[in-house]
Amino acid sequence: MDSESKKQKLNTIEIARPSLSKKRRVSRLLPIASHSLSKTQEAMKKQNDVALFLAGKVISTVDKNSNFVFSPASINSVLTMLAAISDNETLKSCILSFLRSSSTDELNDIFREIASVVLVDGSKRGGPKIAVANGVWREQSLPCSPESKDLFENFFKADFAQVDFRSKVKSLCETSA
């Protein structure tokens, strides 16, 4: 094989599986599919920064010889769900600010991307199978629009139930006392 063919073959391999040191250089050469995808990726990067910030806070409070589970994706999902259904503009604004996001549409785009890429069953391709259970329990005395219920069940793929937190908690406390 001549040196030009070897060079071409190496470049093809590096593009298919770039090493860590060359990943940035190769990715700059590859075209971005769409402007909106780029915006979603940038928004995801911001939320990853928030997740790392939270992880640092959680880790700093945990004993050195203990285990803990921390799911930034779950926290992100809960806040995205809350922002999507909230009529309270102050609450929505606080969530958007905390997640460093510009809109609930952007949050939904990020959730959609995470659900379609990260949370997909990769076991058939030799990757992991990640099982996620989303659930929303809402106090039954609080109103819930059919649109919100539909959003939870169909977009967020969450089981939805309206439950009696008030009397059930009281009866549980009385039983435990």
Between helix 89-98 and helix 72-85 the angle, nearest 10°, is: 150
Question: What gap in Å lies between CA 35 and CA 110, rounded to an integer?
Answer: 15
Contact indicator for 103, 39 with CB cutoff of 8 Å? no
Specify the pLDDT at position 11: 40
Contact 43, 106 (CB under 8 A): yes
Counting every residue, how long is the chain?
177
Can you read off the two tokens belonging to residue 33? 């599919």
Is the separation of the CB atoms in 85 and 149 below 8 Å? no
Q: Would you write out the chain's pLDDT as a tens digit for each of its 177 residues?
A: 555 544 444 443 333 333 333 333 333 444 434 445 688 888 888 888 888 888 888 888 888 888 877 788 888 888 999 999 999 999 999 999 999 999 999 999 988 888 877 667 777 888 777 777 788 889 999 989 999 999 999 888 888 999 898 887 665 565 555
Q: How far apart are CA 9 and CA 101, in angstroms?
A: 42
For CATH 3.30.497.10, the residue range(s) in the chain are 34-129
What are 163's strand-pairing partners?
139
Nearest to 115 by CA among 96, 134, 97, 138: 134
Q: Are 27 and 18 in contact (CB under 8 A)?
A: yes
**Beta pairing partners, 139:** 163
Cα–Cα distance for residue pair 40/62, rounded to 1 Å: 33
Could you please state the CATH topology (level 3) that the domain comprising 34-129 is classified under: Antithrombin; Chain I, domain 2 (3.30.497)
What pLDDT score was predicted for residue 35?
42
End-to-end CA distance of the chain: 82
3-state secondary structure of 163: strand
**pLDDT number for residue 1:** 53
Q: What pLDDT score was predicted for residue 128?
A: 77
